[in-house]
């Protein structure tokens, strides 16, 4: 099971009303599509897991048994999708002002431990079979059949998950489609291992293939844990979204020096904090109007925004604080050449505006 970065969707009421997603469909419709994808994945993987388990027992193939265990972990993911989707649908409240999106992160982290345990146990079992030479001396037709069924079934699941992921705009469902693609590759590897054992009359290749499958499962569990740990710690290694945000902010007339920007992820949404500077002589009303335009510009550039907190400072005031907590500036995500061109262009614009202001 290739578990990639994925998240379950969450939606809450924002200061501008209910957030609409890329697909511009209602939240209830989006949830319906996500639950449908979870049900299809649940019964599809459960069917594959049972079929592969029966054929693994019939053929005595450890590699097929490993593939069956992998499908059972997919069943766990599908169950979690259905259950947690009901939790994250709840809006923010007094105890959870940022909503319930982190229920997904917590559940996914627990799942990573379960996947790691299953992979580790199967790895130990495969090594024991290799050492004791307690594996089948013949390659069964049922083992080949199991691998072919797995490849066909995972292909159909990939198509359904990708289609529903596109329609719902869910990053989790789309990531699960990628997960299914990884499963196709793994089942293909199992098929190659089984056929190689038959062609080269080397039955030990079957438990060796099973060991490789278990290593694949363990790797995915570790990767999944690392991704969820980053999210729980409010980390965000994606510089691209900061670049998009800064470009959106600077497209608003009257804004300068966006800084102390912090973006964190809550399920499939983004929570954004940043400081901007405006003319020191500007009225509070006008500064608020600019802030509203900044929020609108950012929401347009980054659709899945839960909330934006914009702090306004008078121009040139950013260095007057005794100490500020960490946040990113444009220079942290832009190249020096880009910053130079942008700085010159803004300086010329500000100079023209100042000149026109003096005339009036």
Which tens digits make up the pLDDT trace of 225-238?
A: 888 888 888 777 77
Mean pLDDT value of segment 174-185? 76
Mean pLDDT value of segment 265-282? 86
Task: Out of 21-35, 166-180, 212-226, 229-243, pick the least confident.
Answer: 21-35
More reliable by pLDDT, 70 or 211: 211
Q: Where are the alpha helices (DSSP H) in the chain?
A: 27-59, 62-88, 102-132, 141-168, 171-199, 205-232, 239-250, 284-301, 336-359
Task: Out of 147-151, 269-273, 344-348, pick the least confident.
Answer: 344-348
CB atoms within 10 A of CB 68: 23
**pLDDT bucket at 11, cuts 50 / 70 / 90:** very low
Mean pLDDT value of segment 105-130? 81
**pLDDT bucket at 298, cuts 50 / 70 / 90:** very high
Residue 243: pLDDT above 60? yes
User: Listing from the earlier edge strand, what are the strands of the sheet with 256-266?
Assistant: 256-266, 269-278, 305-314
**Max Cα–Cα distance, the chain, nearest Å:** 94
Q: How far apart are CA 67 and CA 45, in angstroms?
A: 11
More reliable by pLDDT, 264 or 115: 264
Name, in order, each residue with C-beta under 8 angstroms of 322's C-beta and a sequence gap of 6 or more: none
- The per-residue pLDDT for 178 is 72
Q: How far apart are CA 2 and CA 193, in angstroms?
A: 18
More reliable by pLDDT, 358 or 96: 96
**pLDDT bucket at 58, cuts 50 / 70 / 90:** confident
Task: Out of 98-102, 117-121, 157-161, 275-279, pick the least confident.
Answer: 98-102
More reliable by pLDDT, 56 or 236: 56
CA distances from 127 to 61, 130, 296 (A): 14, 5, 58
CB 304 within 8 A of CB 21: yes
Mean pLDDT value of segment 345-360? 51
The three-point CA angle 343-346-352 to 5° equals 140
Residue 27 burial (C-beta neighbours within 10 Å; 0-12, 13-18, 19+) = middle
């Amino acid at each position: 099971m290739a578990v990639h970065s994925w998240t379950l969707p969450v939606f809450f009421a924002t200061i501008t009303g209910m957030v609409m997603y890329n697909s511009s469909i209602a939240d209830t419709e989006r949830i319906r599509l996500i639950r449908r994808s979870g049900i299809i994945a649940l019964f599809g993987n459960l069917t594959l897991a049972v079929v592969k388990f029966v054929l693994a027992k019939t053929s005595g193939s450890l590699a097929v048994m490993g593939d069956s265990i992998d499908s059972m972990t997919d069943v766990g993911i599908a169950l979690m999708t259905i259950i947690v989707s009901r939790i994250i649908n709840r809006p923010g409240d007094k105890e959870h002002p940022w909503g319930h999106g982190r229920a997904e992160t917590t559940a996914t982290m627990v799942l990573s431990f379960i996947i790691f345990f299953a992979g580790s146990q199967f790895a130990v079992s495969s090594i024991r079979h290799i050492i004791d030479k307690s594996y089948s001396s013949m390659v069964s037709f049922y083992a080949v059949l199991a691998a072919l069924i797995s490849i066909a079934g995972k292909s159909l699941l990939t198509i359904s998950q990708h289609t529903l992921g596109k329609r719902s705009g869910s990053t989790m469902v789309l990531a699960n489609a990628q997960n299914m693609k990884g499963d196709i590759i793994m089942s293909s590897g199992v098929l190659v291992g089984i056929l190689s054992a038959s062609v080269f009359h080397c039955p030990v290749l079957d438990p060796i293939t099973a060991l490789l499958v278990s290593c694949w499962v363990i790797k995915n569990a570790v990767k999944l844990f690392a991704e969820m740990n980053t999210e729980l710690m409010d980390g965000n290694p994606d510089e691209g979204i900061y670049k998009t945000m800064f470009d959106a902010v600077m497209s608003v007339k009257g804004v300068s020096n966006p800084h102390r920007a912090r973006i964190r992820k809550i399920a499939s949404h983004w929570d954004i904090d940043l400081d901007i500077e405006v003319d020191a002589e500007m009225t509070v009303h006008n500064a608020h109007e600019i802030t509203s335009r900044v929020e609108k510009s950012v929401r347009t550039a980054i659709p899945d925004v839960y909330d934006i907190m914009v702090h306004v400072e008078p121009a040139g005031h950013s260095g007057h604080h005794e100490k500020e907590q960490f946040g990113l500036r444009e220079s942290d995500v832009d190249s020096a050449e880009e910053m130079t061109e942008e700085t010159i262009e803004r300086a010329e614009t500000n100079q023209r505006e100042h000149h026109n202001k003096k005339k009036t």
